[in-house]
Amino acid sequence: MLVQLLYASRAAADTTPATVSVILQQARLRNPPEGITGVLCHGDRYFLQLLEGGREQVNRLFSRIQRDSRHTDVVLLHYAEITERRYAAWTMGQTNLDRLNPATLLRYSALPVFDPFQLPGSSSMALVDELIASASVLGRA
Amino acid sequence: MLVQLLYASRAAADTTPATVSVILQQARLRNPPEGITGVLCHGDRYFLQLLEGGREQVNRLFSRIQRDSRHTDVVLLHYAEITERRYAAWTMGQTNLDRLNPATLLRYSALPVFDPFQLPGSSSMALVDELIASASVLGRA
Amino acid sequence: MLVQLLYASRAAADTTPATVSVILQQARLRNPPEGITGVLCHGDRYFLQLLEGGREQVNRLFSRIQRDSRHTDVVLLHYAEITERRYAAWTMGQTNLDRLNPATLLRYSALPVFDPFQLPGSSSMALVDELIASASVLGRA
Amino acid sequence: MLVQLLYASRAAADTTPATVSVILQQARLRNPPEGITGVLCHGDRYFLQLLEGGREQVNRLFSRIQRDSRHTDVVLLHYAEITERRYAAWTMGQTNLDRLNPATLLRYSALPVFDPFQLPGSSSMALVDELIASASVLGRA
Amino acid sequence: MLVQLLYASRAAADTTPATVSVILQQARLRNPPEGITGVLCHGDRYFLQLLEGGREQVNRLFSRIQRDSRHTDVVLLHYAEITERRYAAWTMGQTNLDRLNPATLLRYSALPVFDPFQLPGSSSMALVDELIASASVLGRA
Amino acid sequence: MLVQLLYASRAAADTTPATVSVILQQARLRNPPEGITGVLCHGDRYFLQLLEGGREQVNRLFSRIQRDSRHTDVVLLHYAEITERRYAAWTMGQTNLDRLNPATLLRYSALPVFDPFQLPGSSSMALVDELIASASVLGRA
Amino acid sequence: MLVQLLYASRAAADTTPATVSVILQQARLRNPPEGITGVLCHGDRYFLQLLEGGREQVNRLFSRIQRDSRHTDVVLLHYAEITERRYAAWTMGQTNLDRLNPATLLRYSALPVFDPFQLPGSSSMALVDELIASASVLGRA
Amino acid sequence: MLVQLLYASRAAADTTPATVSVILQQARLRNPPEGITGVLCHGDRYFLQLLEGGREQVNRLFSRIQRDSRHTDVVLLHYAEITERRYAAWTMGQTNLDRLNPATLLRYSALPVFDPFQLPGSSSMALVDELIASASVLGRA
Amino acid sequence: MLVQLLYASRAAADTTPATVSVILQQARLRNPPEGITGVLCHGDRYFLQLLEGGREQVNRLFSRIQRDSRHTDVVLLHYAEITERRYAAWTMGQTNLDRLNPATLLRYSALPVFDPFQLPGSSSMALVDELIASASVLGRA
Amino acid sequence: MLVQLLYASRAAADTTPATVSVILQQARLRNPPEGITGVLCHGDRYFLQLLEGGREQVNRLFSRIQRDSRHTDVVLLHYAEITERRYAAWTMGQTNLDRLNPATLLRYSALPVFDPFQLPGSSSMALVDELIASASVLGRA
Ligand SMILES: Cc1cc2nc3c(=O)[nH]c(=O)nc-3n(C[C@H](O)[C@H](O)[C@H](O)COP(=O)(O)O)c2cc1C
Ligand SMILES: Cc1cc2nc3c(=O)[nH]c(=O)nc-3n(C[C@H](O)[C@H](O)[C@H](O)COP(=O)(O)O)c2cc1C
Ligand SMILES: Cc1cc2nc3c(=O)[nH]c(=O)nc-3n(C[C@H](O)[C@H](O)[C@H](O)COP(=O)(O)O)c2cc1C
Ligand SMILES: Cc1cc2nc3c(=O)[nH]c(=O)nc-3n(C[C@H](O)[C@H](O)[C@H](O)COP(=O)(O)O)c2cc1C
Ligand SMILES: Cc1cc2nc3c(=O)[nH]c(=O)nc-3n(C[C@H](O)[C@H](O)[C@H](O)COP(=O)(O)O)c2cc1C
Ligand SMILES: Cc1cc2nc3c(=O)[nH]c(=O)nc-3n(C[C@H](O)[C@H](O)[C@H](O)COP(=O)(O)O)c2cc1C
Ligand SMILES: Cc1cc2nc3c(=O)[nH]c(=O)nc-3n(C[C@H](O)[C@H](O)[C@H](O)COP(=O)(O)O)c2cc1C
Ligand SMILES: Cc1cc2nc3c(=O)[nH]c(=O)nc-3n(C[C@H](O)[C@H](O)[C@H](O)COP(=O)(O)O)c2cc1C
Ligand SMILES: Cc1cc2nc3c(=O)[nH]c(=O)nc-3n(C[C@H](O)[C@H](O)[C@H](O)COP(=O)(O)O)c2cc1C
Ligand SMILES: Cc1cc2nc3c(=O)[nH]c(=O)nc-3n(C[C@H](O)[C@H](O)[C@H](O)COP(=O)(O)O)c2cc1C
């Protein structure tokens, strides 16, 4: 059983670009043997991560991620059992949420600042899809 | 919550191109921090304006606009909660209703003069869409 | 309220190409101020005319046309309230029914002669659409 | 080919209940051999009549009706080729438009007075359907 | 053209049951000649009102209501051109928002207190529909 | 924003009916002020819980539940943003998974023992729906 | 492969009720071993027969019927491969076309006389269905 | 009324290419004045013919064809009233069933030999469509 | 993963009612622990069996059944992965194919004898459904 | 009647590339006269084979294949009666399951190893379709 999970969280106060690098390294090391793929969108204030993989594997990872003190207020935005992954080729893509094109952001958001806690899950999902489609995500396997 | 609002109104007797310039200046100054985007169609006799943005922001602006003495008989033509803006890239586009191609106008209208008070809201909306699609609107951000 | 009306009629015995020219002149003179557009298909034996415009205007014109002694047996083939005209750019296009491509005719008709009184209205409508699509109609505004 | 035709008209100034009686007598005498069925809604100011029958027969009758000086401004509201009549059992039903239940009228109309010239054809059609469904029409064959 | 409009607002600080009585009296006096029907839901803190009627009439009334100092922060929740009213028989029904069944409220709301500013317009609309269907509204004409 | 969340977990080794009673007490005390409703299905080996409520509230509770040592291997089965709750009237219903009717169980399961880790989320969801529809759940508010 | 076939024909000049009896006897004798079922509608001027059965069997019978001098001008009205018979219980039902209720007839026909050569096949099919549904057909096995 | 008819038959024992030539000559001579169009697929063992035209004309021709001793076991495969011909431009196209591409044949058939008596009518129809689409048919008018 | 499998076979020459009893005994003994449910239709000449259960379990049983010398020519009629069983309450229902109501049989079959080798799988499936719906199957658990 | 059948099996311990060659030779020799087409996917541990053809022929072959000792645990993944083959041009295509692109595999699978026993039949079917579409299959006729 394959699932797709999208969540948002608030970056801890002391999160720096270096923190993000470490997380991405961990993800690219640990996800392949678990068959987990996805995209990590990060910024000064928020994380937004899409995970795809086996139901058991994704839940185990999500459980670890929820306890990680590098972020807080983890909130689920989307979760579904799927028959096909959409992002099978991304070990863990990445993109910077603070460099979004303003029109892209306004398409889904009332104000020109990104805040996943104010948006319906489907809008954050659409944003991730648009970022990938527009080649704003790095790190395709 | 994002909304889309279209209204028409009658220009006050003393409205001139200069009046329109002032309105557009006000809009381009005040809309961006409020996350409001849209298009203002203006002519000798009517205004037709499409506003997109947060529900609260658009309602507050619409309330101000209704009291503005530069026009009267403000009538709502369309209002909907949306999940995506269609015109996120227009701070406040503009187009002149008095220079419409006659065939464009006849497509939606019984007579070859534009009168939004005689048309269903969906026709005015379709007209705005067609104007933008055909590059008749100026001022893309 | 916009409507679309298609009718057929039998040409009076003494109808000649000159008659048709006069009718087209009348139409091109009187329709524009009334916002009426359309196509007149004519032949030795039949007229087939599509009219688009305001409900009131089209009905008034249709009433005049029904009393015109240059044809008889006026029969409605199609009538509908529409939200958009399909032929807004045709003041009154024209085409000759006696020069139809036989395969075009057979597509809708049992026998290789055009007789709108034998066809469902939707077939005559489809024929008009095909004639316009295939550039067999003259007189685009 | 069966068709369904709905039109409205303005009653001539001197139309009285007696006029309506005469029209209904004519209809009930002349429609059966022509296979025409329908409903006549009448009031002090308007007629609204639904006709069903063969395309040729209905068009011939409509042509006579349009020339009848007991009413003016005949305007088509609906016309369609059908595969089944809806009112096959009504030689010519009748109902008085001036005795409509106000809530029935308001369902389709902005103001509590009936004026078919202000309504889309589909609303007048829905009104006729509702009148028949609610047994407000007399004269079932 | 018929429209349907739903808005919410915050009751002014000094609004009492007597205020609501006065508003209802005004509505029941002034709406019938304008062909306006609807339902007013009121409580200690909010108004929620559904208006149905002609586009021009409803817009004129809504304009008056927006300037009324007995409430503030008027926000549109739903607006649509309709072909049939749903509440044609209600001159101006009324219901008390502070006496809602908690399960009814929780069906649409995260917390067991009614706050239309937190809900999508479609939820407030569904709530009004449910109140009418469950006979919680008084004042059917 | 309302959400619906269904998860399954393995009961800790020392879970007894008394443990379940304590959990239900906690839920019935703490959920109402948070506007959370749902159903807890429990058995010797598994928990299956459906939660409905505000997105923030449900995520905060789910976070607490995941860390609760009275169960392990918490796995999400279903999560969706909804516009209406289905179980608004259940503060926290309960039902015993070990007393399921065998035919009910076989409808969704290959073997006649309940194991949510072997079933697609939609089957567990359907099972919960069926249990509620068949009045097998206790504790309606 | 099961098929359904409907045809109409003109009764030969000398066809009498006795002729019909003989045909029905033949049908009831010969159809059962061939697995053919259906309905024979007969009148002074026309036959209308619905046959259901195996493709080969129905075609063989139809071939015999076409050559039968008791009728002429056999014309197919409907033919389809089906996965289920609709009239499996009728060895060969019968009904008299000259005793149709006039409103039933007018539902499908322009004039109050039955003439299958003037009707689309779907109307004749609908008529047969209506006759069976209204218990106007005799001879259910 | 236009119809489309597809049948298959077994070629008589003594049918030769010359027989087919004669049939095609007859068809190309007699079909045009009757407004009949179509395609004749022929082989050593079978005929498969698609006829399009007026309902009366096609039935009269099919009746003659059924009695023709150059083939036997005529079986209907498809018959429908249509609003548009698909093959209006083919007086009577022709193609040789014995030269079918094997993969084309296997697409519809269990065994690599063509036998219309073993196939559902829709498969034979699809085969004719594919032959025309792939330009395997000769004789376009 | 649940599946549904329907097959038909020819009973071996020496199959008697006693044979069927033995098979049913075996099925009712061995299926419950495997979670297999279904219906066995049997007659003098054919078996038709519907099996529902886990994909692995059903395939293992089907493999045993195929090798069973009490029947031959086992042919699959239907196989699908399902999310819900339709016949969860039947350990192994039974019905006699030789006592089918003739009209039931003719509904799906060209001739009044049951032969699953001549029918599409969907017809045999529909027949089984109809037998269960009409209470012609014995042995509900 | 055409069918499509997909199954998976475990290769016997001593299966080598030579074994696969022999099987393919057998298939390419024996399938054409039986009208069977398809694709054989093979690897070190599994076979996955798609067969298309007549219902009788495919069942007879599947029965032989099930008894073949070169593999075990044959499990059906998909079976359907079809009106058109999708792979009519492949006598027996082949592809190596051990050389799948990892992203292709992850699209359908939780872990980056192919195991048809863990996947729903529709995923294996989608994989076969993707392999053919991406030209990863050899041996088109
Ligand atoms: C925003 C965020 C995203 C993360 N994504 C992943 C991931 O995709 N894969 C992963 O293994 N760890 C990820 N981690 C790190 C895990 O939380 C955890 O630290 C890591 O898996 C090591 O776990 P362990 O120390 O318990 O073995 C992420 C952490 C954060 C804060
Ligand atoms: C037709 C029309 C369109 C307008 N559009 C906008 C607009 O998009 N944004 C805006 O801030 N003001 C717009 N205005 C001006 C407002 O009515 C108002 O004058 C302006 O927002 C300044 O408001 P204030 O003086 O109350 O701050 C518009 C006015 C008119 C007549
Ligand atoms: C086939 C036919 C088509 C016609 N089309 C039009 C038309 O499109 N517009 C128009 O004004 N008159 C049209 N006419 C002419 C009208 O019948 C009428 O003669 C004309 O409008 C002048 O009307 P009046 O003399 O009553 O002013 C048409 C006449 C015929 C016979
Ligand atoms: C509103 C209205 C409805 C009418 N309905 C019918 C009708 O249904 N059938 C009919 O034969 N005449 C109807 N008539 C009368 C015809 O207009 C016409 O007077 C009548 O058919 C006699 O026509 P004739 O004198 O030309 O023979 C109606 C007239 C009016 C004003
Ligand atoms: C919540 C609310 C609802 C109202 N509803 C109506 C209404 O339905 N009809 C109406 O005429 N006035 C309504 N009013 C009152 C109008 O705002 C206004 O006071 C009234 O129409 C008299 O307007 P006038 O004094 O300008 O003539 C409502 C006021 C409030 C605060
Ligand atoms: C299976 C299960 C279901 C639970 N359901 C709820 C619940 O619905 N609401 C709730 O407040 N606590 C629930 N709890 C208990 C929480 O995990 C937690 O113990 C409780 O909310 C008290 O949290 P606190 O001690 O951190 O305040 C549940 C625990 C388990 C094991
Ligand atoms: C209108 C009509 C309907 C008929 N229906 C049937 C029928 O359902 N079954 C049948 O066997 N013969 C039917 N027949 C009679 C056949 O045409 C034919 O006479 C009969 O099957 C005996 O054929 P045979 O003499 O060639 O054996 C019908 C004839 C007519 C004119
Ligand atoms: C397979 C086949 C197809 C035929 N197609 C046609 C055709 O399309 N048009 C046609 O007139 N005759 C066709 N015929 C010939 C007719 O059966 C008949 O011989 C011909 O129309 C002359 O009829 P007549 O001699 O009765 O006038 C076909 C014959 C066969 C065997
Ligand atoms: C038509 C038919 C249906 C059968 N159905 C079942 C069944 O549902 N369950 C079952 O266990 N065996 C069934 N059997 C019997 C099996 O083929 C087999 O004999 C039985 O499972 C014992 O297998 P074993 O001797 O290999 O253990 C059926 C046999 C036949 C001929
Ligand atoms: C995975 C696999 C696929 C096979 N595919 C086919 C096939 O497509 N056609 C075929 O005739 N035999 C195929 N065979 C071989 C058959 O099982 C059988 O050995 C072969 O048909 C010869 O059968 P016979 O010796 O009983 O005549 C396959 C065998 C295996 C193990």
Query: How confident is the model over F78-120, as pLDDT tens digits?
Result: 999 999 999 999 999 999 999 898 899 999 999 999 999 999 9
A with G: 3 or more CB pairs under 8 Å? no
Identify all chain I residues contacting F110, using CB atoms and an 8 Å cutoff.
Answer: 1-2, 35, 53-57
The minimum CA-CA distance between H98 and chain J, rounded to whole Å, is 17
- Would you tell me how many other CB atoms lie within 10 Å of the CB of residue I7? 23
Q: Look at B84 and A103 and tell me if their CB atoms are within 8 Å.
A: no
Residue B101 and residue J83: Cα distance in Å, rounded? 52
The minimum CA-CA distance between A75 and chain F, rounded to whole Å, is 6
* Whether residue H83 has pLDDT greater than 60: yes
* Whether residue B128 has pLDDT greater than 90: yes
Query: D25, D65, D95: which to mutate for ligand 4, most atoms within 8 A of CB?
Result: D65
Please tell me the predicted confidence (pLDDT) of residue J136. 81
Please indicate, yes or no, if residue A138 is contained in any of the structural domains: no
pLDDT class of B141 with cuts at 50, 70, 90: low
pLDDT class of F141 with cuts at 50, 70, 90: low
Please tell me the predicted confidence (pLDDT) of residue G134. 85
Chain pair A-J, CB pairs under 8 angstroms: 39
Is F27 near ligand 6, meaning CB less than 6 Å away? yes
Query: How confident is the model over J12-41, as pLDDT tens digits?
Result: 998 899 999 999 999 999 999 999 999 999
In this structure, the strands spanning H2-11 and H46-54 are antiparallel
Using the structure block, give the residue that is written with the tokens 């049992």. C110
Q: Look at A110 and B32 and tell me if their CB atoms are within 8 Å.
A: no
* Whether residue I114 has pLDDT greater than 80: yes
Burial environment of residue E69 by CB neighbours within 10 A (0 to 12, 13 to 18, 19 or more): exposed
Query: How confident is the model over E56-91, as pLDDT tens digits?
Result: 999 999 999 999 999 999 999 999 999 999 999 999
Q: Look at F106 and I88 and tell me if their CB atoms are within 8 Å.
A: yes
Average pLDDT over residues A29-44: 96
Instruction: Give the domain range for residue D41.
Output: 2-133
Please indicate, yes or no, if residue F73 is contained in any of the structural domains: yes
* Whether residue C85 has pLDDT greater than 70: yes
Please indicate, yes or no, if residue F20 is contained in any of the structural domains: yes
Q: What is the mean pLDDT of chain H?
A: 94
Query: C23, C24, C34: which to mutate for ligand 3, most atoms within 8 A of CB?
Result: C23
User: For ligand 9, which residues put their CB under 6 angstroms from it?
Assistant: I 23, 26-27, 30-31, 40, 47, 49, 61, 64-65, 68, 70-71, 92
Residue of C104, C105, C107 to mutate, testing the H interface (most H Cβ within 10 Å of its Cβ): C107
Please indicate, yes or no, if residue I6 is contained in any of the structural domains: yes
Question: Which of A83, A36, J118 has its CA nearest to residue F118?
Answer: J118
Residue E61 and residue E76: Cα distance in Å, rounded? 14
Q: Look at B83 and A123 and tell me if their CB atoms are within 8 Å.
A: yes
Please indicate, yes or no, if residue F59 is contained in any of the structural domains: yes
Is G23 near ligand 7, meaning CB less than 6 Å away? yes
Q: What is the mean pLDDT of chain A?
A: 94
Atom in ligand 1 nearest the alpha carbon of residue A19: 31
Please tell me the predicted confidence (pLDDT) of residue A141. 56
Please tell me the predicted confidence (pLDDT) of residue F56. 97
Query: How confident is the model over H49-81, as pLDDT tens digits?
Result: 999 999 999 999 999 999 999 999 999 999 999
Using the structure block, give the residue that is written with the tokens 């035919």. F103
Please tell me the predicted confidence (pLDDT) of residue I131. 92
**Cα atoms in the Cβ-side hemisphere of radius 13 Å centred on H91:** 15
| Ligand showing the shortest atom-to-Cα distance for residue G92 | 7
* Whether residue F140 has pLDDT greater than 80: no
Which residue CA neighbors atom 8 of ligand 10 most closely?
A: J27
Q: Does I54 touch chain F (CB under 8 A)?
A: yes
Q: Look at F57 and E108 and tell me if their CB atoms are within 8 Å.
A: no
Closest partner CB to D75 (pick from C59, C67, C80): C59
Query: How confident is the model over A77-132, as pLDDT tens digits?
Result: 999 999 999 999 999 999 999 989 889 999 999 999 999 999 999 999 999 999 98
DSSP class of residue C13 equals T
Amino acid at E77: L
Of chain H, the percentage scoring pLDDT greater than 90 comes to: 88
Identify all chain B residues contacting C1, using CB atoms and an 8 Å cutoff.
Answer: 110
Query: How confident is the model over B100-125, as pLDDT tens digits?
Result: 988 999 999 999 999 999 999 999 99
Please tell me the predicted confidence (pLDDT) of residue D69. 96
The minimum CA-CA distance between I108 and chain G, rounded to whole Å, is 5
* Whether residue E13 has pLDDT greater than 70: yes
Query: How confident is the model over B55-68, as pLDDT tens digits?
Result: 999 999 999 999 99
Query: From ligand 6's centre to the CA of A56, what distance in Å?
Result: 22
Enumerate residue ranges in chain D where pLDDT < 70.
Answer: 141
| Ligand showing the shortest atom-to-Cα distance for residue F24 | 6
Complete DSSP assignment for A71-137: EEEEEEEEEEEESS-S-TT-SSEEEEGGG--HHHHHHH-SSSS--GGGS-HHHHHHHHHHHHHTT--
* Whether residue A15 has pLDDT greater than 60: yes
Q: Look at F103 and I141 and tell me if their CB atoms are within 8 Å.
A: yes
The radius of gyration of chain G's CA atoms, rounded to the nearest angstrom, is: 14
| Ligand showing the shortest atom-to-Cα distance for residue E90 | 5
Q: Residue F101: closest CA among chain I residues belongs to which residue?
A: I89
Average pLDDT over residues G2-28: 95
Please tell me the predicted confidence (pLDDT) of residue B138. 83
Please indicate, yes or no, if residue A15 is contained in any of the structural domains: yes
Which residue CA neighbors atom 17 of ligand 10 most closely?
A: J65
Residue G125 and residue G131: Cα distance in Å, rounded? 10
Of chain H, the percentage scoring pLDDT greater than 70 comes to: 99
Q: Does C112 touch chain H (CB under 8 A)?
A: yes
Q: Does I118 touch chain J (CB under 8 A)?
A: no
Q: Does B55 touch chain A (CB under 8 A)?
A: yes
Q: Look at H88 and C103 and tell me if their CB atoms are within 8 Å.
A: yes
Please tell me the predicted confidence (pLDDT) of residue B136. 81
Identify all chain H residues contacting C120, using CB atoms and an 8 Å cutoff.
Answer: 83
Identify all chain D residues contacting C3, using CB atoms and an 8 Å cutoff.
Answer: 76
Closest partner CB to G79 (pick from H1, H66, H79): H79
Query: From ligand 4's centre to the CA of D93, what distance in Å?
Result: 14
Closest partner CB to H35 (pick from C111, C122, C126): C111
| Ligand showing the shortest atom-to-Cα distance for residue B21 | 2
Question: Which of C133, C82, C41 has its CA nearest to residue B107?
Answer: C82
Please tell me the predicted confidence (pLDDT) of residue B83. 95
Please tell me the predicted confidence (pLDDT) of residue C87. 93
Please indicate, yes or no, if residue I128 is contained in any of the structural domains: yes
Q: What is the mean pLDDT of chain I?
A: 94
Is F31 near ligand 6, meaning CB less than 6 Å away? yes
* Whether residue E103 has pLDDT greater than 70: yes
Please tell me the predicted confidence (pLDDT) of residue B55. 98
pLDDT class of H141 with cuts at 50, 70, 90: low
Please tell me the predicted confidence (pLDDT) of residue H36. 97
Q: Does F104 touch chain I (CB under 8 A)?
A: yes
Question: Which of A50, C109, D34 has its CA nearest to residue C130?
Answer: C109
Q: Does I79 touch chain J (CB under 8 A)?
A: yes
H with F: 3 or more CB pairs under 8 Å? no
The minimum CA-CA distance between F2 and chain A, rounded to whole Å, is 10
Average pLDDT over residues E6-18: 94
Show the 3-state SS of chain J: CEEEEEEEEEECCCCCHHHHHHHHHHHHHHHHHHCCEEEEEECCCEEEEEEEEEHHHHHHHHHHHHHCCCEEEEEEEEEEEECCCCCCCCCCEEEEHHHCCHHHHHHHCCCCCCCHHHCCHHHHHHHHHHHHHCCCCECCC
Q: What is the ipTM for the molecules in this complex?
A: 0.92
Instruction: Give the helix ranges, DSSP H, for chain E.
Output: 17-34, 55-67, 102-108, 121-133
Domain containing A62 — which CATH number? Answer: 3.30.70.100
* Whether residue C139 has pLDDT greater than 90: no
Of chain F, the percentage scoring pLDDT greater than 70 comes to: 99
Identify all chain G residues contacting H5, using CB atoms and an 8 Å cutoff.
Answer: 76
Q: Look at F88 and E110 and tell me if their CB atoms are within 8 Å.
A: no
Query: How confident is the model over I34-79, as pLDDT tens digits?
Result: 999 999 999 999 999 999 999 999 999 999 999 999 999 999 999 9
pLDDT tens track, chain J, 141 positions: 999 999 999 999 988 999 999 999 999 999 999 999 999 999 999 999 999 999 999 999 999 999 999 999 999 999 999 999 999 999 999 999 998 988 999 999 999 999 999 999 999 999 999 998 887 888 775
Q: Does H135 touch chain J (CB under 8 A)?
A: no
Closest partner CB to J37 (pick from H106, H108, H123): H106
Give the DSSP H/E element, type plus range, for residue B19: helix B17-34
Please tell me the predicted confidence (pLDDT) of residue E15. 87
| Ligand showing the shortest atom-to-Cα distance for residue B60 | 2
The minimum CA-CA distance between A106 and chain F, rounded to whole Å, is 20
Q: Does B32 touch chain A (CB under 8 A)?
A: yes
Number of domains in chain A: 1
In this structure, the strands spanning J46-54 and J2-11 are antiparallel
Please indicate, yes or no, if residue J125 is contained in any of the structural domains: yes
D69-73, E19-23, H100-104: least confidently modelled range: H100-104
